[in-house]
Amino acid sequence: MQLIAKNLHKKFKDFKAVDSFSFELNAGEVLGLLGPNGAGKTTIIGMLYGAVIPDAGEITLGEFNLLSGQASKAKQFMGVVTQENNLDPDLTVYQNLIVFSRFYGITGKKAEERVNYLLKLTNLIHKKDSNVEELSGGMKRKLILARSLVASPKFIFLDEPTTGLDPDARQDLWKLVNHLRNEGVSILLTTHYMDEAERLCDRIILLQNGKTIDAGSPSEMILKKIGKTVIEIYGVSQDQVQGVAEKYNLWWREFADGFLIALPDQINTLLEELKLLNATNIKERDANLEDVFLKLTGEKLN
């Protein structure tokens, strides 16, 4: 079963949020949507599960056409983790999942078994009888993920699931994502954490102004947009860096209180020239998706 979107469009008054967006999500794949704020990521997620109605385009999930009256049938295969912690504060952890199970016709012993399984999977079984307000931010995110899994969906939409979480809580959610992928669940992920996308995603789509500007695996995107290696250089002027970069036809930009330069394969001559600038610090490292994102936000679409 595939989730396929073709030529999606969405405007909010005069703002074009999504413009001719298309993609395919395959079984057991983690696909990342990356882009700056306002790129259209959350709007796309909303269109896929019915919270936002497209102005034009097609969305199909297997044999179901989500925009022609078959959305309710398709939703039995979908789970959603939105940015909001929209749990019921008047119910316990266990009760939140039991009540949600009823929406899918899962009741009685079957519901109890499913809920207990999900609480163990998300390491929340010890908080079973706790009130939602007693949970940490990371625990609430895990509970929302558990809720999205109640009906054993084949497709999960994760909209910035780890925003605001501490490193330990983020890694717990990463483990759950990898577990779901290994179980054959397809995952569409939006995130602002480039290390998260690089670790979790089989493919990524780079968005800007509602349009796809490039796509591929994280490693492919890094090589395509940046190259293998970058240099961080500090204690030099912009004119100095710009002069060297233009001489070698290299991409560069400001980075923290220094500059970032993408390196070519043959770097010996360039490194020697950079050392002559008397920088306070020169750091050579592997390029990563954060570098790709920095380059993306500085580019203009044709």
pLDDT tens profile 173-227: 999 999 999 999 999 999 888 889 999 999 999 998 899 988 999 999 999 889 9
Q: Which pair of tokens denotes residue 110? A: 């079957």
Measured between alpha carbons, how far is 301 from 299 in angstroms, rounded to an integer? 7
Q: Long-range contacts made by residues 130-134, C-beta under 8 angstroms, separation at least 24?
A: 130/92, 130/93, 131/89, 131/91, 131/92, 131/93, 132/87, 132/88, 132/89, 132/91, 132/92, 132/93, 132/96, 133/89
Measured between alpha carbons, how far is 171 from 295 in angstroms, rounded to an integer? 27
DSSP annotation of 299: -
**Range 3-222 has CATH code 3.30.420.10:** no
36, 296 Cβ separation under 8 angstroms: yes
Q: How many alpha carbons fall within 13 Å on the CB side of residue 94?
A: 12
Q: What is the pTM of this model?
A: 0.88
- Grade residue 300 by pLDDT with cuts at 50, 70 and 90: very low
> Which CATH superfamily groups domain 228-286?
ACT domain (3.30.70.260)
Domain ranges of the chain: 3-222, 228-286
Average of per-residue pLDDT values in the chain: 90
187, 161 Cβ separation under 8 angstroms: no
Give the list of residues 6+ apart from residue 109 with CB closer than 8 angstroms, or none. none
Measured between alpha carbons, how far is 296 from 273 in angstroms, rounded to an integer? 27
